Amino acid sequence: MHMMQWKEKTGRIWRSFKTRILLSFFAFIRIFIVWICIYFFINNRQTHLDRFTYHLTVLQNHYAESNRYLQNFILTGFHQPSFYTTGRQKDLDLFEAEQDTILAELNQVKTEAADNHIKVNEQLESLLRLHAGLADTIRVLKQLYYLKGFKDYGAEGDMRRYAHYLEDSCPILKIDILMLRRREKDFMLRDEQKYIDEFNLIAGSQAHKFARSPATLQAIVNYQKYFNAFAGYTERLSINSDSGVYGHVQARIGLLDAGYRQTNARVVQEIASLNNLFKFILVFTFILLVAAAIYLSIALSHNLTKDIRKLNQDVGHFVQSGFREDRSEEDPLESKITEIQSLNNDISALRQALKQTIADLQLSIAEEKKTSAELESRIAELHGLINELEQKSRPKE
């Protein structure tokens, strides 16, 4: 009965001990879960960096698209009559819409750069200022194109109307009006100051010539007025030179191109640094966690088996000594593992029981030996008496 209880308790302790070992191995799983969490965190940060790079690329595509719309307006867009009748033009409207989109995307990229610890705030702020300045310059450019006009609109339209009036309805000589028209065309083609001076010189002489013809004089004066207005708007635009509003636009675009190149270079540098940092963190944490796992395995192995080894040695020595010498009495086991300590207590109780049993057996054996010796002595005495009786009972010869 006692043996069955002992086996049941020993089995329960062993199962509990195996459970502790299993839970200890769960510590290794926790270590790798930590590393996996770090890996996914870094992977998530790299995904954010990729998203930031994509948004920056989209931003530059919008910038390139807006420049294409602007060039379309400068090349042919201002020729459209609807621009002068409504003040709106498709390419210019698309350019302005793209600028609004670019400013919004720049602010978004700026926020993402801060969130991802990419140090390009200075470059992005510069791009914001340049785009705002470009938008202001384009508004001036648009107004100058509108005032300068084309064919029948603006200053060019008024200039042509009075030129045709002089040609068709005034007594001015054909050669004289042709000289004026030639200077007008030369200026429109070459945009040089000398043609303005020559035009004004000829117009002045014609005005003096027709001083007494009010209608012709007024037509000459108006023609000269709108030509000079047209020339003034053209010079302010300066399409064929690096000065003027057009030159200012090109300078702004050049600064923006350089700004985007600098931003790209800085972003590449920053992202490379962050990726290197992420790789270092990943490798370092992996090495650290592997070292922790190795240390934990050694520590667990030592802690889980130390008490068992000592208990096993004590039991082995106790058995080898013939259940007499008990080293646990000299160096008692104190285990922090409840089940091992409980097993040790039971084994100690078993030792004491065995020692007591052995002592009792030895006492019983001694008593048995004593009793056996007494019996042997009495048996010997009985044999002696029997022999004497046999001799006395024999008949005498």
Name which of 65-69, 92-96, 182-186, 282-286 the model is least confident about: 282-286
pLDDT band at 65 (very low <50, low <70, confident <90, very high): very high
Please tell me the predicted confidence (pLDDT) of residue 2.
Answer: 46
Query: Is the overall model pTM greater than 0.75, yes or no?
Result: no
Angstrom distance (rounded) from CA 138 to CA 128: 15
At residue 190, φ and ψ (nearest 5 deg) are -110, -15
Angstrom distance (rounded) from CA 237 to CA 214: 34
- The pLDDT tens digits of the residues spanning 248-286 come to 999 999 999 999 999 999 999 988 888 888 888 878 887
- Cβ pair 6, 346 in contact under 8 A: yes
Q: What angle do CA 198, 204, 207 make, to 5 degrees?
A: 140
| Residue 357 pLDDT greater than 90, yes or no | no
Query: Which domains, ranges and CATH numbers included, belong to the chain?
Result: 28-148+245-278 (1.20.120), 154-240 (no CATH)
At residue 212, φ and ψ (nearest 5 deg) are -95, 5
